[in-house]
Amino acid sequence: MCGIIGYAGHRDAGTVMMAGLKRMEYRGYDSAGLAVVGDRLEVRKAAGKLANLERQLQTHPIGEAHLGIGHTRWATHGGPTDANAHPHLGPAGRVALVHNGIIENADALRAELAGAEFRSETDSEVAAHLLERAVVGGRTLVEAMREVVARLEGTFTLVAIDANTPGTVVAARRNSPLVIGVGDGERFLASDVASFIEYTREAVELGQDQIVEITATTHTVTGFDGTPGTTRAYHIDWDLAAAEKGGYDWFMRKEIFEQPKAVADTLLGRITARGELALDETRIDPAQLRLVDKIVVVACGTAYHAGLIAKYAIEHWTRLPVEVEIASEFRYRDPVITPTTLVVTISQSGETADTLMATRHAREQHAKVISICNTNGATIPRESDAVIYTHAGPEIGVASTKGFTTQLIACYLLGLYLAQVRGTKFGDEIAELVEELEALPAKMQAVLDDLGLTLTLARDLLREPVYLFLGRHVGYPVALEGALKLKEIAYVHAEGFAAGELKHGPIALVENRLPVFIVVPPRGRDQLHDKVVSNIQEVRARGARTIVLAEAGDDEAAAFADTYLPLPSVPTLFQPVLAILPLQVFACEVASQKGYDVDQPRNLAKSVTVE
């Protein structure tokens, strides 16, 4: 939540800030602002989307400067107003600061600063006051930052400039992300590498509780205690084009269509010439994996739905019990975690606060943690024992799409790897499944090449206020995910149910013409298939309009469909990778036709970095 940026270099800071904020707007769009130091410190900020700030800059241009900070906000403390927008200034306007996170002891600190005049209701402004006090008292900006962070509780990444120190930006990082971009004669600080990708692809990962000082040519990292900090430099393996819409109307639509490639990239290099699985980033000793007696998958939102699907696959292949839990619930219920529990955290961003806290909690209980993540160097993988990166490229649309399908692939790979290591599947069985995995990108492409019916359906059902989604087995989490997509971007009531639960309550919701999406498992699973076909008949008999996603040629299911969306044949466990595609497209099209901002739905932000 919130995107922050800092810059020191030879370019025009205002231009760099605005370009960077544009690429980070998905992180929060309640307000935006920037501050630069040229002849003097200047600030511009505006409530609402970045376009408002752009307009302000046209009417009140900012002076030429080569040093600046910027912020795009998802509001926590204080509403989305001009005054609450960042940057915040110290009382004399000497220091400007942007903040991502929550300062939990802000009220106590505010009370201590009795007499000071605050211009906003934010927790962040307190940090600006404290910082300015320290520099006015003679500390350098770095010393002042060190002094201030020692007083703060909560999560905070701060980036600050001082009008009297024109060549330097100083930042501190605790819990919220911050990366250094290293260019030629310029340095960047940002929540997300996307914000500086057009200038450099060289990045340095900042650790927990570190302070960094950048100038145009240097970056110096120390711990909160002043000791030299260790960092990891890396090359970003995607470019500017990946962070742009490339002709699509929405990032979400672009990302939906990128899925075959994202899945292929996530599989790449994971399978040896002998058809065995090699997970290079898995740094847990296989001997230790053989001792595991329980797996707990922890995640939020869409990643949680991927975890629900993982349970079916991993239990089936490894015969290990798998629990799946929403991260925000996990830590607070005192879960039974032992050193032989394997915890798998799934997070596209790698920064979700609840998932991060769950990771830490699991490690405190001496469990091994493997994270599945799409963001190189993010906090969750850094703090895990091992990581399986999904290679989806940047996901910018708030609604997760390629994040989800690549998470599924990583879960399948992990399940098969565990089966291989633990000997619960024969080599030839694994090889067969691997072959099916490798065939998925082409089958996904076939679904995406044939979306006419889905798009027509979206336009026909546009005005419907309620939608149901049903599935059994792995089709159940697909139903949940289909409903979530529609809720979050089309603002309609959509619910996913386990089809077998229908008769225990939800069927009472079914009335004439209610659109009901049903995910039907492939016919290989006879009983499962037949049960779902019965469920279709049950809702149809009560007047529902049935939209059936089933294997091509499944005449039994098609017979009860008002709309039949055929899917290529795959093993049951892999069907979610295909079945979710029309549901993503449906949601995107409904929201788009309604005129909503698909990429930046109301009240949401891409990565939820506060609990």
Report the chain's terminal Cα–Cα distance, integer Å: 11
Q: How far is the CB of 348 from ligand M6R (least distance, A)?
A: 3
CA distance 482 to 218: 47
608 binds ligand M6R (CB under 6 A): yes
Q: How far is the CB of 259 from ligand M6R (least distance, A)?
A: 14
Residue type, 265: D
CA distance 180 to 191: 9
Q: How far is the CB of 605 from ligand M6R (least distance, A)?
A: 9
CA distance 571 to 192: 37
191 binds ligand M6R (CB under 6 A): no
Nearer to ligand M6R, 341 or 406 (CB): 406
> Of residues 16-55, which lie at the interface with ligand M6R (CB under 6 A)?
none
400 binds ligand M6R (CB under 6 A): yes
Q: Sketch the per residue contact string, 291 through 320, with ligand M6R: x for CB under 6 A, - otherwise.
A: ---------xxxx-----------------
- What's the per-residue H, E or C state across 122-134? CCHHHHHHHHHHH
607 binds ligand M6R (CB under 6 A): yes
Nearer to ligand M6R, 257 or 564 (CB): 257
Q: Sketch the per residue contact string, 219 through 258, with ligand M6R: x for CB under 6 A, - otherwise.
A: ----------------------------------------
Nearer to ligand M6R, 91 or 403 (CB): 403
In Å, what is the CA distance from 551 to each residue of 447, 554, 556, 578? 11, 6, 10, 10
Only segment of 8-16, 168-176, 344-352, 539-547 that touches ligand M6R (CB under 6 A): 344-352
352 binds ligand M6R (CB under 6 A): yes
Any catalytic annotation for residue 606? yes
Q: Which residues contact 228 (CB under 8 A, 6 or more apart)?
A: 221, 222
Q: Which of 19, 204, 252, 399 binds ligand M6R (CB under 6 A)?
A: 399
Q: Residue with structure tokens 């915040």?
A: 88
Which residue is catalytic, options 45, 311, 425, 606?
606
Q: How far is the CB of 203 from ligand M6R (least distance, A)?
A: 19
405 binds ligand M6R (CB under 6 A): no
Any catalytic annotation for residue 45? no
Side-by-side strand order, sheet with 186-190: 41-47, 31-37, 67-73, 3-8, 186-190, 179-183, 202-205, 232-235
Q: How far is the CB of 238 from ligand M6R (least distance, A)?
A: 17
392 binds ligand M6R (CB under 6 A): no
The phi and psi torsions of 83 (rounded to 5 degrees) equal -65, -35
Nearer to ligand M6R, 281 or 562 (CB): 281
Contacts 24+ apart (CB under 8 A), 135-141: 135/94, 135/95, 135/162, 135/164, 135/165, 136/90, 136/92, 136/94, 140/165, 141/95, 141/165, 141/168, 141/170, 141/213
- Residues paired with 354 in a beta bridge: none
Sign of the CA dihedral running 39, 40, 46, 49: positive
325 binds ligand M6R (CB under 6 A): no
Q: Is the Cβ–Cβ distance between 599 and 249 less than 8 Å?
A: no
**Smallest Cα–Cα separation from 587: which of 573, 598, 576?**
598
Quote the tokens at residue 328.
């925000």
Nearer to ligand M6R, 191 or 400 (CB): 400
Q: How far is the CB of 527 from ligand M6R (least distance, A)?
A: 32
Nearest residue to ligand M6R, by Cβ distance, number only: 301
Q: How far is the CB of 171 from ligand M6R (least distance, A)?
A: 22
Between 575-593 and 452-460, two packed helices, what is the crossing angle to 10 degrees? Answer: 40
Which residue is catalytic, options 2, 300, 373, 588?
2
580 binds ligand M6R (CB under 6 A): no
- How many CA atoms lie less than 13 Å away from 273 in the CB half-sphere? 0
The phi and psi torsions of 590 (rounded to 5 degrees) equal -60, -50
Q: What share of the chain is helix, strand, coil (3-state, %, to 5)?
A: 40, 25, 35
176 binds ligand M6R (CB under 6 A): no
Q: Is the Cβ–Cβ distance between 331 and 345 less than 8 Å?
A: no
Quote the tokens at residue 123.
């927790």
398 binds ligand M6R (CB under 6 A): yes
Residues 507-545, buried b or exposed e (16+ Cβ, 10 A)? bebbeeebbbbbbbbbbebeebbebbbebbebbbeeebb
Q: Which of 100, 259, 341, 355 binds ligand M6R (CB under 6 A)?
A: 355
**Number of residues located near ligand M6R, criterion CB under 6 A:** 17
Nearer to ligand M6R, 85 or 369 (CB): 369
Q: Which of 347, 390, 535, 546 binds ligand M6R (CB under 6 A)?
A: 347
Q: How far is the CB of 255 from ligand M6R (least distance, A)?
A: 11
Nearer to ligand M6R, 155 or 347 (CB): 347
488 binds ligand M6R (CB under 6 A): yes
Catalytic residues: 2, 606
Site residues (vs ligand M6R, CB under 6 A): 300-303, 347-349, 352, 355, 398-400, 403, 484, 488, 607-608
